[in-house]
Amino acid sequence: MCGIIAYFGKKDVAPILIDGLKRLEYRGYDSAGVCLLNNGELFMAKVKGRVSELEKLALNLKHSNIGIAHTRWATHGEPSEVNAHPHFDCKNEIAVVHNGIIENYTTLKEILEKEGHKFISKTDTEVLSHLIEKFYNNNLEEAVTKALELVVGTFGIAVVCKKENKIVVARRGSPIVLGVGEGENIIASDAVAVLPFTKKVIYLNDNEMVVLTDNKYEIKNFDGQIVEKEIDEIKWTAAEIEKKGFKHFMLKEIFEQPASIENTLRGRIDENLNIKLSIDNIDLKSIKRITIVACGTAWHAGLIGKYLIEKIAGIPTDVDYASEFRYRNPIVREGDLVIAISQSGETADTLAALREAKLKGAKTLGIINVVGSTIGREVDSGIYLHAGPEIAVAATKSFPCMLTGLILFSLFLAQANGKDADKELLEELNSLPEKIQEILDKSQDILLLAKKFKDTKNFFFLGRGVNFPSALEGALKLKETSYIHAEGYPAAEMKHGPIALVDPELVSVFFAMNDHTYAKILSNMEEVRARGGQIIAVVNEANSDILNLTKNVIVVPKCREELMPIISAIPLQLLAYYIADLRGFDVDKPKNLAKSVTVE
Ligand code: F6R
């Protein structure tokens, strides 16, 4: 949520900042701004809207090689030019870009206003520039440190002052990565913006700051002590963050799924069909109960994870919205494992739930995509998904990879507790990429369905058992990309209220695959049909039972029940994508949303 970037080097900074902002735009895209420092002067440009609208203004600013920039997802104050970052002090000498929330900004603002500071925006961030001004005495680091001592909340900030040739960056709760280049250094909210420059990175921890000066970076804690940190290497390549001829990142990421799953599986099942995961620091034999915490799509993966862990490993498992877990004083006992699932590894609610679980003494495991992310660094052990960068705001390829990770973990847990290996499931896991490719090869059939139903106003997604979370995920994908009202339900729950909404305008997407709930699902489809509702069915076989109820069928390959949610996710992602695209929306950047939700 919000992306910041800063560069100190030898090159012309404006194109670098604009390119970085474009790569960070998935984090927020309602307004953007830059501030360049040149010979004791600050040059600034801001716009309401996309980075592409800022580009021309920024490139026309005075040439410079020091600068900071921001792309915004509004929290305090509507999207507008005046609320766009950077924010300045009274004398326009100090500029700040910020990702996070200053929770006590009203109190700080009142104090500063009494002292004569004039505010022009409605943002929480503006208190930071004025606070830094208040403490500024020809030493920017010192002023930033003093200001941050008074702040309650989260921040990743970059600050410049016209009187000093440096950039001061600090972090508490919002991600910051430093890219270490040759004669140039760059900082950003995410490694994707650093990757075109260098693969050498340092991840800042909370309460650390980095000062960029000529050719040099220095990392300190807020007490002013130098912190020595290791340089990591980003494993992704620059090519992975390009669209590669696809119209949108979402479509590219959908089509990458066979390869992404192969990457999640790679090296984790040996020739004797044993699972190999490096889960250190957790005694798998002592786990008595598991709680999964996650948000959004990752939470849907967690619901399926409950089913998988209980079925495969026999350990009782609960699933909590991370945002609820943290604030309900959860009971955590000895022998509890808390699993945090997150693509970005930066979701604020998931991170807060994880920290709460650790405070209460639970062991923690992460199922995460982004290596080096905060959650990845804070868990006791982790399973990285290796799905590759996911740029589109709507999660796609991370979802089946999370499920694959959960299956591997369940099998590993069962193995550690002396259960016999489920050889058939293991073999089927290996054939997943092929089955997904089969669905992708028939994507044109789903495009036809999308054309037919693109103007529908209301959708239900209905499934039972392991396909119920798939129904939730199908509904989420459609509503967030196409702005069509969609609800997911366990199919049998229809009769307890929602069926009142069924009429010829409503489309119900049923998961009617060949599992033990198949006969019951057919009855639920009959109930909808009897009330004139339209049906799309995701099936393993377009048999006469199904075709009597609907001609709108999506046939997917047969598989074991445990793998069904992976298989069924793919056509629903395609359906959502095609409908959104046909309706003319910016599929990769849906309105009001941002990827990597780093505010609670
Ligand atoms: C939906 C979506 C969100 C994320 C959620 C969690 O398509 O992308 O619901 O799943 O914000 O994000 P991560 O997995 O990064 O913690």
- What does the DSSP 8-state code read for residue 11? S
Burial of 558 (0-12, 13-18, 19+ CB in 10 A): middle
First to last CA, the chain: 10
Residue 430 — very low, low, confident or very high, per pLDDT cuts 50/70/90?
A: very high
Task: Say if CB 87 and CB 60 are below 8 A apart.
Answer: no
* pLDDT bucket at 111, cuts 50 / 70 / 90: very high
Q: Which amino acid is at 564?
A: M
By the 10 Å C-beta count (0-12 exposed, 13-18 middle, 19+ buried), 429 is classed as buried
Q: State the chain's mean pLDDT as an integer.
A: 95
Ligand 1 pocket: which of 1, 189, 293, 344 to mutate (most atoms within 8 A of CB):
344
pLDDT score of 80 more than 90: yes
The alpha carbon of 544 and the centre of ligand 1 are apart by a number of angstroms equal to 38
Rounded to 5 degrees, φ, ψ at 378 are: -95, -15
Amino acid at 352: A
- Exposure letters 167-201 (e unless 16+ CB within 10 A, then b): bbbbbbbbbbbbbbbeebbbbbbbbbbbbebbbeb
Q: How far apart are CA 32 and CA 4, in angstroms?
A: 10
pLDDT level of residue 587 (50, 70, 90 thresholds): very high
Q: Could you tell me the distance, in angstroms and rounded to a whole number, from the CA of residue 295 to the centre of ligand 1?
A: 6
pLDDT of 597 > 80? The answer is no
| The two domains 3-234 and 242-430 share their CATH topology (first three levels equal) | no
Contact 29, 73 (CB under 8 A): yes
* CATH class (in words) of the domain with range 242-430: alpha beta
Question: What's the rounded Cα separation, in Å, for the pair 128 and 142?
Answer: 14
Give me ligand 1 centre to Cα 599, in Å: 13
Q: How many CB atoms lie within 10 A of CB 531?
A: 14
Cα separation, 338 vs 358, in Å, equals 9
Please spell the DSSP secondary structure of 406-458, one letter per residue: HHHHHHHHHHHTTPPP-HHHHHHHHTHHHHHHHHHHTHHHHHHHHHHHTT-SE
- Compute the distance between CA of residue 271 and CA of residue 274 in angstroms, rounded to an integer: 7
The hierarchical CATH code for the domain 3-234 is: 3.60.20.10
480 CB within 6 A, ligand 1 = yes
| Sequence-ordered list of residues with C-beta below 8 angstroms from that of 117, at least 6 positions apart, any chain | 89, 90, 130, 133, 134
If one compares 153 and 1, the residue with the highest pLDDT of the two is 153
| Residue 475 Cβ < 6 Å to ligand 1 | no
342 Cβ closer than 6 Å to some ligand 1 atom: yes
Residue 222 predicted with pLDDT over 90 = yes
> Which tens digit of pLDDT belongs to each residue from 334-345?
889 999 999 999
508 CB-side CA count, 13 A: 31
For 530-540, what is each residue's pLDDT tens digit?
999 999 999 99
Separation of alpha carbons 595 and 497, rounded Å: 33
Pocket of ligand 1 contains residue 396 by CB under 6 Å: no
Strands 94-99 and 87-88: antiparallel
Decide whether any atom of ligand 1 lies within 6 Å of the 597 Cβ. Answer: yes
Q: For 9-44, how does the pLDDT look when each residue is reduced to its tens digit (9 = 90+)? A: 999 999 999 999 999 998 888 999 999 999 999 999
CA dist 97 and 332 (Å) reads 38
Nearest residue (CA) to ligand 1, atom 3 = 296
The class (CATH top level) of 435-593 is alpha beta
pLDDT at 453: 98
Whole-number Å distance between alpha carbons of 398 and 241: 15
What percentage of the chain has pLDDT greater than the value 70? Answer: 100
CA of 396, closest atom in ligand 1: 7
Is omega for the bond preceding 389 within 30 degrees of 0, making it cis? Answer: no
Give me the pLDDT at residue 76, please.
87
Q: Where are the domains of the chain?
A: 3-234, 242-430, 435-593
Quote the CA–CA distance of 213 and 219 in Å, as a whole number: 12
**Is residue 600 predicted with pLDDT exceeding 90?**
no
Please give the Cα distance from 46 to 53 (Å, whole number). 9
Q: Which pLDDT tens digit goes with each residue over 507-558? A: 999 999 998 889 999 999 999 999 999 999 999 999 999 999 999 999 999 9
Residue 239: pLDDT band (50, 70, 90) is confident
- Sequence-separated (6 or more) residues with CB below 8 Å from residue 484: 456, 457, 458, 459, 478, 579
Q: Which residue has the tokens 């500029």?
A: 95
395 C-alpha to center of ligand 1: Å?
6
Which of 551, 555, 552 is CA-nearest to residue 541? 555
Ligand 1 centroid–CA 433 distance in Å is: 23
Nearest alpha carbon, ligand 1 atom 5: 296
pLDDT of amino acid 488: 97
